[in-house]
Amino acid sequence: MSQPRELIMSISLNALEHLGLNLYSNIPAVLSEIVANAWDADAHNVNVTVDKAMKTITIDDDGIGMNRDGVIDWFLTVGFKRREAMGASTPSGRKPMGRKGIGKLSTFSIAQIAEVYTIQGGEHTAFKMDREVIRKAISGNTQGPYKPEELQNWPPDFKKGTRIYLSGLSKSLSGMTVEGLKRRVARRFAVIGPKFKFTVTVNGGAIGPEDRAYHNKLQYLWTYGAQTEFVKSCKHLERAHEDRLQAIQPELTRSNISLSGWIGTVSSPSQLKDEEGDNLNRLAVFMRGKMAQEDILDEFGQKEIYANYVIGELHCEELDLDDQGDTATSGRQSLKQDDPRFEALRKVVLSEIRHIAGKWSDWRRSDGAKTAAAVPAVSAWLQDLKGDTKKKAERWIGRLNTIRSPEESDKKELLKASILAFESYRRKEELDRLENIKDENLEQILEIFQTIDDLELSYYGQIVKLRVQVIRTLKNKLKQNDKELVLRDYIFDHLWLLDPGWERTKGSEHAETRINEFLKNNSNALKGAQKRARIDIGYRTTSGKHVIVELKRASVAVPVDDLTKQIRKYRDGAKKLLEKTSFKDWPIEIICLVGKPPPEWNDSSGTGPKGVIDSLKTVDARLVFYDELLTNADQAYGDYLDAHVKLDKLWEVFNAIDDFAPPEKVVK
């Protein structure tokens, strides 16, 4: 009996680094290479078992396996040309996916140790490869072949095909779920499932086309060739799909390539971020049922909004013909950009996505107008418009659907703003009518002025509503110890927090600058307890009034005499500066924003609250407490809104928009 051939792997360290350790960056990509090898081995079943506790991955297939010679000549020979040696098809007639014989090395990019068990014709072969031992064997000046360690213990549960057992994983399994792994593997193959007699399971769960999780995300769809099953699986298409193959067939014929698959768009870019954080905004290229390039969309440099909504799978078999050069790069994850076949494909796809861009914009505008009109109050408002205003409003509201917005609430706010804008446009048209109204028709003129008043009321109502939301958000989020810091800058620019009637006066910026400089200089001169009690001081003008706001630390109680002394200095200095301005006759009011009242506030036998208030009045000042500030503003604006809703004709329209919830799209 002759001595069995010795198991030997011949490989350079450079090849190991380039084609093994650095070939793939994630577990699904490596598993895909092993699954592809199982397809080439005519396997009907591939079972992947991930053991997080043991940090191992096992891949079993029931393919034809290998005998000892096959292991040496095929598996351990890096660069083995599979198609030249074994033919253009497998025994069962499958077109093999493998070509260069390097996919096996991908295991070393995620695992230190790979144990291989394989059976053919009753002959069992088992061996272990250790990445670090391989490195050591082929490094240095005396590079030689690597001899895997032969294994004697055969797993009793394994009866047919090939098993690969990976351990010493360098990629974490902690964040990986079974469903997530199924999704990622499913997206790399188009031949998994009963139709192709090729079943792949992960921890007992079979992978199916539905695991790609694309179908229920699509809003619009363009297909190339027979895609009946995929179209049926897309339950939420808002329009019938468009088959584009006939339209592009002349160009495909001229280029000697074929194209099948689909391109779709989703209703929101956020739908193209999956549970694992993968970006699905891509056009993947397949050949022989396996992903050859994850994305070619990015190559086109499309900056239009529509490109953020695109996803697709395109198959071109001419990219992998046995009698022509390999289009795949050495990394096996992309295609050679200068290959004429790939260039021809890119040309066709670029033309298609430009066609899709136009269709997408038209459909989104049209469907957007329908969605907005589904709100009865908005529909009634549109019907009330006339002529060009109505046409322009319908077109613009439809365009809102093409604006990139991750949140549905953003589009609602845009819709409300659009209604206000068109109401303003309608008032302009009515003002243009004034020239044609006769002098004696006073009622018509007053009617136009009333519509302008109504619009002003609606505008201010929305402003107040937003202010209430800001106030309530601040109330919920602010902690006692940081109120003063958060409110410091905000309050000087939003005086309505102190008094709803206060709005900034335009044209007073020069005076504000000079007086603020004066106040800052005086503030810097403070020492000791007075300086520690101060946060900031600022000056603003409001309608018919000068306002000085001094912020005290929430934890400090300043005696009333100290307060009045400081305030008198600020007031008198400001008056001198204001004497030289056109605002000199406006009264000055000083607000002390405090967390604690002066000590005299709680003096029941003496000053008390009334005494403190009266003392501050002598210097045109009053106290406002941090805790009361937002509550008082909330109540004041709330009272305003209660009265406002009875007068604002657009209020119900805006509320209907806020309350409208589009029908939910159940994604399985």
- Percent helix, percent strand, percent coil in the chain, to nearest 5: 50, 20, 35
Three-state SS letters, 40-96: HCCCCEEEEEEECCCCEEEEEECCCCCCHHHHHHHHCECCCCHHHHHCCCCCCCCCC
Range in 43-47, 392-396, 533-537, 615-619 the model is least confident about = 533-537
Q: Average pLDDT of 360-382?
A: 75
- Look at 29-33, 136-140, 521-525 and tell me which has the smallest mean pLDDT: 136-140
Query: Which DSSP string corresponds to 301-338?
Result: T--SGGGGGEEEEEE-GGGG-TTS---B-TTSSSB-TT
Q: What is the pLDDT of residue 353?
A: 93
Confidence bin at 434 (pLDDT 50/70/90): low
Q: Rounded mean pLDDT of 96-111?
A: 75
Does position 654 have pLDDT exceeding 90, yes or no?
no
Percent of the chain at pLDDT exceeding 70: 76
Region 409-415: mean pLDDT is: 71
* Look-up of token digits 């917005």: 405
Q: What is the pLDDT of residue 174?
A: 77
Mean pLDDT confidence for 494-502: 71
Give the Cβ contact number of residue 127 at 10 Å: 20
Q: How many CA atoms lie within 13 A of 107 on its CB side?
A: 25
pLDDT band with cut points at 50, 70 and 90 for residue 666: very low
Residue 303, CA distances (Å) to 92, 300, 548, 605 in order: 46, 9, 49, 74
Average pLDDT over residues 297-323: 84
Among 59, 38, 69, 39, smallest CA distance to 110 is for 59
- Residue 507: the pLDDT is 46
Query: Is a pLDDT exceeding 70 seen at residue 325?
Result: no
Amino acid 191: pLDDT: 93
Least confident of 7-16, 109-118, 374-383: 7-16
Concatenated DSSP letters for 607-661? SHHHHHHHHHHTTTEEEEEHHHHHHHHHHHHHHHHHHHTTT-TTHHHHHHHHH--
pLDDT of residue 108: 82
User: How far is Cα 546 from Cα 495, in angstroms, rounded to an integer?
Assistant: 11
What pLDDT score was predicted for residue 453? 63
* Measured CA angle at 126 (ends 90, 115), to 5 deg: 90
Out of 173-182, 309-318, 322-331, 338-347, pick the least confident.
322-331
Q: Using the predicted structure, report yes or no on whether residue 348 has a pLDDT greater than 90.
A: yes
- Residue 457's φ and ψ, nearest 5 degrees, are -60, -45
Confidence of residue 512 (pLDDT cuts 50, 70, 90): low
- For the segment 239-259, the average pLDDT, to the nearest whole number, is 94
Mean pLDDT, the chain, rounded, equals 80
Count of helix runs (H) and strand runs (E) in the chain:
20, 18
How does residue 390 score in pLDDT terms, banded at 50, 70 and 90? confident
Output the CA torsion sign for 551, 556, 559, 561: negative
Mean pLDDT highest for which of 112-121, 390-399, 573-582, 598-607?
A: 112-121
Coil, strand or helix at 545: strand
pTM comes to 0.62
Q: How confident is the model at residue 331 (pLDDT cuts 50, 70, 90)?
A: very low
pLDDT score of 23? 60
**pLDDT value for 401:** 61
* Top-ranked range on mean pLDDT: pick from 257-266, 291-300, 435-444, 659-668: 257-266
What's the rounded mean pLDDT across residues 9-33? 67
Among 195-204, 238-247, 413-422, which is the least confidently predicted range? 413-422
**Measuring CA to CA, which residue among 450, 378, 388 is closest to residue 419?**
378
Using DSSP, state whether 383 is helix, strand or coil. Answer: helix
Q: What is the largest CA-CA distance in the chain?
A: 124
Query: What is the mean pLDDT of the segment spanning 506-529?
Result: 68
Report which listed range, 352-361, 423-432, 655-664, is most confident: 352-361
More confident residue, 102 or 506: 102
Instruction: Give the model's pLDDT for residue 200.
Output: 97
What integer pLDDT is reported at residue 167 of this predicted model? 94
Give the closest residue to 214 by CA, choosing from 176, 241, 184: 184
Contacts of 262 (CB under 8 A, 6+ apart): 221, 222, 223, 224, 227, 230, 241, 312, 313, 314
Q: What does the pLDDT average to over 643-651? A: 74
Per DSSP, 668 falls in state: -
Mean pLDDT of 6-15: 64
pLDDT(366) > 70: yes
**Structure-token pair, residue 196:** 């192709």
358/353 Cα distance (integer angstroms): 9
- Give the mean model confidence (pLDDT) for residues 280-304: 87
Which of 85-94, 112-121, 199-208, 234-243 shows the lowest per-residue confidence on average (mean pLDDT)? 85-94
80-84, 105-109, 197-201, 548-552, range with the lowest pLDDT:
80-84
Which of these ranges, 103-107, 452-456, 492-496, has the smallest mean pLDDT? 452-456
Q: Look at residue 25 in the predicted model and tell me its pLDDT.
A: 65
β-bridge mates for residue 264, sequence order: 221, 311
C-alpha count within 13 angstroms, C-beta hemisphere, residue 151: 17
355 burial via Cβ count (<10 Å: 0-12, 13-18, 19+): middle
In terms of pLDDT, which residue wins out, 370 or 260?
260
pLDDT higher at 558 or 505 = 558
Whose structure tokens read 């000068």? 546
Task: Convert the pLDDT of each residue in 140-193 to its tens digit.
Answer: 655 567 788 999 999 999 999 999 999 999 878 877 889 999 999 999 999 999
* DSSP per position, 422-490: HHHHHHHHHHHGGGGS-TT-HHHHHHHHHHHHHHHHHHHHHHHHHHHHHHHHHHHH--GGGHHHHHHHH
CA end-to-end span of the chain, whole Å? Answer: 60
Question: What is the model's pLDDT at position 119?
Answer: 96
Whole-number pLDDT of residue 593? 85
* pLDDT score, position 667: 41
Q: Compute CA distances 376 → 373, 380, 583, whole Å.
A: 7, 6, 50
Between 59 and 425, the higher pLDDT residue: 59
User: Across the strands, what pairs with 593?
Assistant: 551, 624
